[in-house]
Amino acid sequence: MSLLFDNPELIRNARIQLRPGRMIAAAVICAIVSVTVWVSVLHASGDLSMDGLRGAGVVFALILYLQVGILLIGGGIFCLQSVHREKELNTFDYQRVTRLTSLELAAGKLFGAPILMYFVVLCLTPVSLAGAFAAHLPGLFVAEAYVILVLGSIAFHALMLLVSMLLGRSGQAVSMLLFLLLVGFTSIDFLDARSPWGVHRLSPFAAVDPFFNSHYSDWTDRFFGVRLDHAEVLIVLYVTFAAWFLLAVVRNLKRDSSEYEILPAAGLFGFVMYVNLLMLGFVSWGEINGTTIRQGADVLFDATATVPELIAMSWWSLCLLALILLRNREQVRRRSRRLAGGAANWWAALWPAPYIALGAAITGGGAVAFAAYHREPGNNWHVASYYVVFLVLWFSRDALYLQWMYLRRAKYPLGSAVLYLVIFYLCATILFSTFNFYDTARGAAFTAAFIPSAFFALNDRLWGPAMRVWMIPLFLQAAAALVFAWLQKRRLAEFVSEPADRAPSAEIAQSA
């Protein structure tokens, strides 16, 4: 079966959304909007035949802007509802019991849910192309703009489809708000905004930029110092992110929701590393240090100043990795039934620390290595190395704590675990600040055993006089991680012994 043109789910969406009456109404509205824009621009510029970014070129850019808004935001909202709404109506189970594969179902929803938006974009295209033609805009630029529009929308839609699949009974309004925030955030031109990143805006609204901004003649980003065409960067980002999101949708869409596993641990790890690679690659080094990049023999960056910044950037992705990797009670119960005693050994009790530790080591190590590449050798190397080891132990400790707490019998086990952690960090910060522990080397080292803030502020003044003292937080972190692993091991053992605790089943079960 063809994935698209003969896809029953796509056809179902088309039949519902593209009834003749609705299509005619949409086409008429698009025609009115097109004429209005055309007449307004003609009135304002007085001459449509002007080249470039004047006259008809503005018509093209305005319509393109409208198309991006409609397809990206409108389509995103439709995708957000696509699975969630079916679950609410109890029709999703009927789709799951058909012989449609997850890929066919996902493709049908990805292109079917926003099909009305695609139709509206199509209706607006003639006038935008007419504008581009009249303004003598280069064909390649126009084609590039539409590729960015379509691929970018698909990537965002794939993310919304994933969110829609994962949504519970509530959360749709919050998800919609987060989606709009994401669109807003990715619509910031990071290069213009003097942010730490040396990249232009990432949302499909970027498709309009080369036409609206004359200074975009050099529309390039810097990736590890190499100049790349922004359109090519966007296309690569859209394709790769859409692939990750679709992979997550496809492997879960027909599963029982209690068994959802967004990606296999290794796949998820790969995704987080990819995101970190992008963040590291697009970092604008001059912005991080508050200086500009200088060439020559001068020291541009100090690892102690730069590495924590980079680590902080990867912090969110590692948190996300930890939260997704955590096993819920159902998953542990299933593992216990499958592996018996093997589900409660020390290796199982360390979950998800190995992935978190490896992720922290790679991101921290990457940050150190990259910082070192940009500075003179010999300055504070050992401090930067300490960062990495500390980061590994700190993340492992908290991940093991969360996993242990998540396996409790509680109404909201993970939510309450996160809440306790936040309260712990908040109280510790207030106490340590009150007693000025951060001001001395020994005091700062002591606080690092509890919260990482002192570690982020670690510098020569605090490091040099008390290098040995700073080793104590490392050992304390490791000890705390082991305690949480031991607690988790005990909890896993309860799952393994669970069936034996219950009374035997009725022996009446028999053949009909």
Partner 1 sequence: MIHLDNVTKQYDLPSGKLGEIVAADRLTMDVPAGEVFGMVGPNGAGKTTTLKMICGLQSPTAGRITVNGIDVQKEPEKAQGHIGYLADFFSLYDDLKVWEYLDYFAHAYKMDPALIPSRLEEVIRLMNLESKRDELISGLSRGMKQRLGIGRAIIHNPPLLVLDEPAAGLDPKARVELKDLLKTLHADGKTIFITSHILADLEEICTSIAIMEKGRLLRAGRLEDVMREGQTVRRFRVKLAAEGFALAGWLAARPGLVEVAAEATGARFGFAGDDAELAALVRELVAAGAAVCGVEELAETFERLYSRVSSGEVM
The Cβ of residue 193 has, within 10 Å, a number of other Cβ atoms equal to 11
Position 333 contacts partner 1 (CB under 8 A)? yes
Which of 11, 129, 421, 476 forms a contact with partner 1 (CB under 8 A)? 11
CB of 412 to partner 1, least distance (A): 6
CB of 219 to partner 1, least distance (A): 43
One-letter identity of residue 285: W
CB of 320 to partner 1, least distance (A): 21
Which of 173, 194, 218, 256 forms a contact with partner 1 (CB under 8 A)? 256
Among the listed ranges 8-16, 145-153, 352-360, 361-369, the one in contact with partner 1 (CB under 8 A) is 8-16
CB of 404 to partner 1, least distance (A): 17
Q: Is 406 exposed, middle or buried (0-12, 13-18, 19+ CB in 10 A)?
A: buried
Position 5 contacts partner 1 (CB under 8 A)? no
CB of 94 to partner 1, least distance (A): 7
Among the listed ranges 172-180, 332-340, 438-446, 459-467, the one in contact with partner 1 (CB under 8 A) is 332-340
The binding track of 86-115 with respect to partner 1, each residue x by CB under 8 A or -, is ---xxx-xxxxxxxxx--------------
In the complex with partner 1, the residue whose CB is nearer, 100 or 469, is 100
Position 2 contacts partner 1 (CB under 8 A)? no
Residue 315 phi, psi (nearest 5) = -55, -45
Which of 334, 374, 375, 489 forms a contact with partner 1 (CB under 8 A)? 334
For the record, the structure tokens of 487 come out as: 């607690």
Strand partners, 283: 197
In the complex with partner 1, the residue whose CB is nearer, 149 or 405, is 405
In the complex with partner 1, the residue whose CB is nearer, 103 or 320, is 103
In the complex with partner 1, the residue whose CB is nearer, 54 or 87, is 87
In the complex with partner 1, the residue whose CB is nearer, 56 or 167, is 167
CB of 411 to partner 1, least distance (A): 6
CB of 169 to partner 1, least distance (A): 9
Position 341 contacts partner 1 (CB under 8 A)? no
3-state secondary structure of 89: helix
**Axis-axis angle for helices 172-186, 139-166 (nearest 10):** 150
In the complex with partner 1, the residue whose CB is nearer, 54 or 85, is 85
Which of 9, 144, 221, 287 forms a contact with partner 1 (CB under 8 A)? 9
Nearest to 331 by CA among 414, 274, 394, 269: 414
Position 8 contacts partner 1 (CB under 8 A)? yes
Q: How far is CA 226 from the centre of its chain?
A: 24
The binding track of 14-53 with respect to partner 1, each residue x by CB under 8 A or -, is -xx-------------------------------------
From CA 495, how far away is CA 341, in angstroms rounded?
Answer: 10
The binding track of 388-427 with respect to partner 1, each residue x by CB under 8 A or -, is ---------------------xxxx---------------
Position 501 contacts partner 1 (CB under 8 A)? no
DSSP state string for 450-484 = T-THHHHT--HHHHGGGTTTTHHHHHHHHHHHHHH
CB of 485 to partner 1, least distance (A): 23
Nearest to 479 by CA among 423, 412, 396, 373: 396
Element (H, E) at 194: none
Which of 1, 180, 430, 471 forms a contact with partner 1 (CB under 8 A)? 1
Position 500 contacts partner 1 (CB under 8 A)? no
Q: How far is CA 84 from the centre of its chain?
A: 20
Contacts with partner 1: how many residues (CB under 8 A)?
44
Contact 472, 449 (CB under 8 A): yes
DSSP state string for 20-74 = HHHHHHHHHHHHHHHHHHHHHHHHHHS-TT--TTSTHHHHHHHHHHHHHIIIIII
The set of residues, in sequence order, having a beta carbon less than 8 Å from that of 372 and lying 6+ positions away, is 303, 381, 384
From CA 510, how far away is CA 125, in angstroms rounded?
Answer: 66
The set of residues, in sequence order, having a beta carbon less than 8 Å from that of 287 and lying 6+ positions away, is 194, 195, 196, 197, 198
Position 84 contacts partner 1 (CB under 8 A)? no
The Cβ of residue 31 has, within 10 Å, a number of other Cβ atoms equal to 14
Position 382 contacts partner 1 (CB under 8 A)? no
Position 82 contacts partner 1 (CB under 8 A)? no
Position 459 contacts partner 1 (CB under 8 A)? no
Q: Is 301 exposed, middle or buried (0-12, 13-18, 19+ CB in 10 A)?
A: buried
For the record, the structure tokens of 511 come out as: 């053949």
Site residues for partner 1 per CB under 8 A: 1, 6, 8-9, 11-12, 15-16, 89-91, 93-101, 254, 256, 258-259, 329-330, 333-334, 337, 409-412, 498-499, 502, 504-506, 508-512
